[in-house]
């Protein structure tokens, strides 16, 4: 598993909170400028865009679908199943003579979806939870944060496995499982940030102006959390994809005929002995390129949105 540099994010949060309010317009403009100056992030963004274009464009390029079996190849994958322009299997085929080009494209869609949906759930739940705890403070805060502490002490990989075994494996259950565990860190960071923001003058002004708590949280606090939330979410996406790959390795992930990066890689890893290396290395290349991109983009966003050097 990977780690998100939580210390850096906390620091960034402090920097952002201290940044003078009212200049938020220029903050975003600045951030964009800085982001596009960051070469690694920019290249990653391009790579990621290409991957996305590939995943949606592939069906127009190949005559094969992700589940169609090429009967002329089935049974002699080692001899005929390798990547070839002539056979129109640009990435070769899997063990059942299904086109890897189409399967990688479809698997990419699923993996990206898992990453984004998982991160999205984390963002929504974590932000609301953290903002509420931080805003109200006191006893509500300590109860809410103790709950987070307790949940964090549960070995989440085990819980995820249990969920999928007990309630049956489905993509929905996978999202629920990923969502359940991913918001905890988010809520902690958001809470800390909220505690700082709520003491700002403009919040006090809003309270004095008679706004209710809900309005204050949604109108004033959450918008000011946006930077930190975006950065954290961008780093969560690859983590979700990695987790899904592990779950797929256990056979609990996406179900046939659909596939995902993790499922393709784990199938490929089982056949390394049989001289069909393209089955492992092609999906692995996409997986690695995709994750690299997410990390660099996340890093880039963090540097861009962190106002400390201004």
List interacting residues with another protein (CB under 8 A).
1-3, 5-8, 67-69, 71, 74-78, 95-96, 152-155, 157-159, 161-162, 165-168, 238, 242, 245-246, 249-251, 255-257, 262, 265-266, 268-274, 280, 284, 287-288, 291-292, 295
Q: How far is the CB of 300 from another protein (least distance, A)?
A: 14
Measured from the CB atom, the residue of 18 and 78 that comes closer to another protein is: 78
Measured from the CB atom, the residue of 164 and 228 that comes closer to another protein is: 164
Measured from the CB atom, the residue of 153 and 212 that comes closer to another protein is: 153
H helix or E strand, kind and range, residue 61: helix 39-61
Q: How far is the CB of 194 from another protein (least distance, A)?
A: 22
Closest CA relative to residue 237, chosen from 56, 57, 104, 44: 44
Q: How far is the CB of 187 from another protein (least distance, A)?
A: 16
Measured from the CB atom, the residue of 215 and 255 that comes closer to another protein is: 255
Q: How far is the CB of 192 from another protein (least distance, A)?
A: 15
Measured from the CB atom, the residue of 183 and 295 that comes closer to another protein is: 295
Q: How far is the CB of 270 from another protein (least distance, A)?
A: 5
Q: How far is the CB of 33 from another protein (least distance, A)?
A: 24
SS3 of residue 94 by DSSP: coil
**Reduced to 3 DSSP states, what percent helix, strand and coil does the chain have, rounded to the nearest 5?**
75, 0, 25
Q: Is the dihedral of CA 149, 19, 25, 33 positive or negative?
A: negative
Measured from the CB atom, the residue of 16 and 280 that comes closer to another protein is: 280
Q: How far is the CB of 73 from another protein (least distance, A)?
A: 9
SS3 of residue 50 by DSSP: helix
Measured from the CB atom, the residue of 7 and 139 that comes closer to another protein is: 7
Looking at residue 81, what DSSP letter applies?
Answer: -
Measured from the CB atom, the residue of 145 and 284 that comes closer to another protein is: 284
SS3 of residue 69 by DSSP: strand
Phi-psi region at 138: left, alpha or beta (left = phi > 0; alpha = psi -120 to 50) = left
Cα separation values, 85 from 82, 90, 101, 103, 174, Å: 10, 5, 11, 16, 36
Rounded Cα distance between 125 and 283, Å, is 32
Q: How far is the CB of 258 from another protein (least distance, A)?
A: 10
| Furthest C-alpha separation in the chain | 77
Tokens at residue 155, please?
Answer: 């070995």
- Which stretches of 137-260 are DSSP H helices? 138-152, 156-166, 171-197, 201-208, 213-215, 222-249
CB count, 10 Å around CB of 286?
A: 22
């Amino acid at each position: 598993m990977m780690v998100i540099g939580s210390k850096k994010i906390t620091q960034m949060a402090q920097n952002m909170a201290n940044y003078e309010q009212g200049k938020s317009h220029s903050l975003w403009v600045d951030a964009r400028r800085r982001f596009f100056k960051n070469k690694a992030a920019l290249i990653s963004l391009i790579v990621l865009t290409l991957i996305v274009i590939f995943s949606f464009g592939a069906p127009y390029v190949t005559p094969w679908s992700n589940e169609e079996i090429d009967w002329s190849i089935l049974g002699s994958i080692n001899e005929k199943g390798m990547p070839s322009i002539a056979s129109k299997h640009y990435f070769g085929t899997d063990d059942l003579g299904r086109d890897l080009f189409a399967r990688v494209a479809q698997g990419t869609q699923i993996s990206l979806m898992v990453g984004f949906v998982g991160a999205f759930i984390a963002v929504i739940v974590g932000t609301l939870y953290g903002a509420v705890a931080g805003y109200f403070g006191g006893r509500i805060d300590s109860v809410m944060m103790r709950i987070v502490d307790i949940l964090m002490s549960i070995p989440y990989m085990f819980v995820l496995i249990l969920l999928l075994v007990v309630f049956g494996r489905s993509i929905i259950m996978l999202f629920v499982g990923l969502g359940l565990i991913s918001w905890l860190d988010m809520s902690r960071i958001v809470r800390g940030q909220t505690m700082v923001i709520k003491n700002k003058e403009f919040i006090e002004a809003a309270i004095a102006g008679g706004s209710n708590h809900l309005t204050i949280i949604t109108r004033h606090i959450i918008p000011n959390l946006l930077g930190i939330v975006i950065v954290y979410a961008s780093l969560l996406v690859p983590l979700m994809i990695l987790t899904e790959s592990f779950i797929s390795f256990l056979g609990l992930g996406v179900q046939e005929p659909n596939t995902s990066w993790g499922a393709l890689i784990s199938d490929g890893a089982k056949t390394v002995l049989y001289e069909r290396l393209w089955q492992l290395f092609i999906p692995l290349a996409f997986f690695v390129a995709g994750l690299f991109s997410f990390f660099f983009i996340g890093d880039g966003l963090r540097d861009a949105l962190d106002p400390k050097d201004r």
